[in-house]
Amino acid sequence: MKNFEEMQVDVEAGRHVKPGSEFYMPPNENDRVSAFIDLIKYRAFASATRALDDQFLHDFNLLSVEQRAVLAGLDKLYLIPAALIADLAIKGVKQWISSPITILNEMASAIAISNGDINSVDKSDKSILYRYFVNSKIESKDAPSFSNEEFLQYTLNRLLTEERVIFTWIVQNLILLVEHAHMDPCLHCEFFIGLFEKSNYIQGELGVLFKVAISKTPSLFETLANARLSIDPFTKQTNFSLWLQDSAKFKYIATLRTIAGVVETDQVKKFDKKFELFNEMNKFDRGAL
Amino acid sequence: MSKWNQRRISIDIESDYDPLTSIPMLEAGYIDEVKARQRITAAFDTQNCKNITIIDPYLLERDVKTILELFATQSERNITVITFLNKLKDGDAKSSDKVTTATIVKNIVDDLTKKGIFTSFEVIVTSFEFHDRFFFCTDEGKDGLLVSSGGSLSMFLTKYSGLVRITNRTFRRTLLQFIEHAKENGKLLSDYIVEWS
């Protein structure tokens, strides 16, 4: 049996793994909490315990949680975190959520997020709340926890700038917040226009989100109507796929024109004229109409 | 060469370009597999595909994450995965190892179903080996978007693996025949686990 110091050296040298074994390794190396969430979601425990050296695993199980946490922090392969998280999940997260040991605190947060247990999450930590928001479908009773303006600014900014998939449930969460008046679209015009410009197509939930947002804040229609879209004849000739994509987005904006509360301002009149001209110019084009 | 001629040539090159028929890693300005993966997402989303069949002899726990990243961008989708549960290194025979993978995958898929991320998520384990990998939209009345992938989900778009968009209708019909054959001779994950554990 090895002592704790020897085990630390072994982990740092990668000697805690059976040679040639296969195991799940999360891709988010720069974001430990997301990596821990992945370990839980993709059931890494089974492959991790199979891959760990038998003697090491035996010795590991005799250590205290704090010692195991130290080893978990050293393990770049995420096998020890996978084993430790499974153990913490069984014991319950409550006692670790405010632990002064960062890695235990992060693991407890990851377990709470994976379980959809909003009450156990530290709501004052906006990065943890953000991870909850992007990983879970929020229920309406929990929506007030996400209405803090500072959190919303942080989250919407990350959603726009981060290279991440905007999953259906993230858009559903946004719809819920707007519908239940926990998020005022008027204060987040930049996000809506950014999301519109970033999206290559507006369908499904995304279509619903803009509709709900404009119903709550009709002036947002003007902002969307001013979105940069390449629907001109030159683009049609030189970059047809972009033109087709942007034409579909332009026509989508037109479907929002009739939402109650959209006032006929100069900008809106300009849009109506542009839409009329667009239809006239492309009336023989099956792809556009 | 005049600027207009240069422009004409570049338009000619671009007009033949299809992001779904390419070896992304060889493309000038290729950024990463995330961008390459988004091409598939965009193509299936643009056509509003609701029924998507993924054919891949290999299926590991982590591949469910790739499937989520590819297709959990629209709701009310029915996902079918046809696999032989091949392991990366060993085991083309039915082994307890495959049952372990099947059980873990089933638990992950059950979680997704409970959360309602997809309308349905079915995994069919075939009784026969196969090789080719495809993403196929089987919605009726649509043009049956079909993409052949050179690499498995686990090594998706790495190692210079290519994508080929297939528009040939005879081949699409053949692939539908393959799916039927796989369903008739295959087992749902739960049945597979019961049979082999």
pLDDT class of B33 with cuts at 50, 70, 90? confident
Indicate the pTM of the whole model: 0.86
- Which of B72, B76, B104 is facing A43, going by the closest CB pair? B104
A22/B89 CB distance under 8 A: yes
pLDDT band at residue A169 under the 50/70/90 scheme:
very high
Across the range A17-25, mean pLDDT stands at 85
Mean per-residue pLDDT, B28-56: 86
Q: How confident is the model at residue B89 (pLDDT cuts 50, 70, 90)?
A: low
Q: What is the pLDDT of residue B12?
A: 59
Domain annotation covers residue B11: no
What value does the mean pLDDT take over residues A31-38? 92
For residue B26, tell me if it sits in a domain: no
Supply the range of the domain harboring residue B188. 31-196
Straight-line distance from the first to the last Cα atom of chain A, in angstroms, rounded to the nearest whole number: 74
Chain A residues in contact with B61 by the CB 8 A cut-off are: 24, 42-44, 47
pLDDT for residue B15 is more than 50: yes
In a domain, B18, yes or no: no
pLDDT value, residue A54: 92
In DSSP terms, B164 is beta-bridged to: B148
Question: Is 80 exceeded by the pLDDT of residue B76?
Answer: yes
Q: How many domains does chain B have?
A: 1
B160: burial class by Cβ within 10 Å (0-12, 13-18, 19+)? exposed
A94-105 average pLDDT score: 90
Question: Sorting pLDDT into bands at 50, 70 and 90, what band is A183?
Answer: very high
One-character DSSP codes across B119-160 = SEEEEEE-SS----EEEEE--TTS---EEEESS-GGGTT-TT
Which CATH number fits the domain that encloses residue B173? 3.30.870
pLDDT band for position A277 (cuts 50, 70, 90): very high
| B14 domain residue, yes or no | no
Query: Is A33's pLDDT higher than 80?
Result: yes
Whether residue A28 has pLDDT greater than 50: yes
B35 located within any domain: yes
* A23 DSSP assignment: -
- Mean pLDDT value across chain B: 86
- The answer to whether position B91 is within a domain reads yes
Question: Which residue in B175, B102, B169 sits closest to B132, CA to CA?
Answer: B175
| pLDDT score, position B6 | 72
Share of chain A above pLDDT 90, in %: 73
Contact by Cβ (8 Å): B120, B78: yes
Q: How far apart are alpha carbons A190 and B23 in whole angstroms?
A: 36
Compute the half-sphere exposure of residue A21: CA atoms within 13 Å on the CB side of its CA. Answer: 20
The verdict on a CB contact (< 8 Å) between B116 and A43 is: no
- pLDDT, position A24: 83
pLDDT digits (tens, 9 = 90+) for A108-126: 999 999 999 999 998 899 9
| Distinct helix (H) and strand (E) counts, chain A | 16, 0
Reported as a single tens digit per residue, the pLDDT across A134-156 is 999 999 999 999 999 999 999 99
User: What's the mean per-residue pLDDT of chain A?
Assistant: 91
**Token pair recorded at residue A120:** 């156990």
Whether B12 maps to a domain, the answer reads no
User: From B32, which residue of chain A is nearest by alpha-carbon distance?
Assistant: A163
Mean pLDDT confidence for B115-132:
93
Radius of gyration of chain A, Cα coordinates, nearest whole angstrom: 25
Which H or E run includes A178? helix A168-179
Question: Would the CB atoms of B48 and A204 count as touching at under 8 Å?
Answer: yes
**Do A167 and B74 lie within an 8 Å CB cutoff?**
no
Looking at residue A273, its pLDDT comes to 96
Which pLDDT score is estimated for B95? 43
ipTM: 0.82
In a domain, B2, yes or no: no
Q: Which residues pair with B188 in a beta bridge?
A: B124
pLDDT of res. B90? 47
Number of H helices, E strands in chain B: 6, 7
Residue B166: which pLDDT band, with cuts at 50, 70 and 90?
A: very high
B7 → chain A, closest CA residue: A238
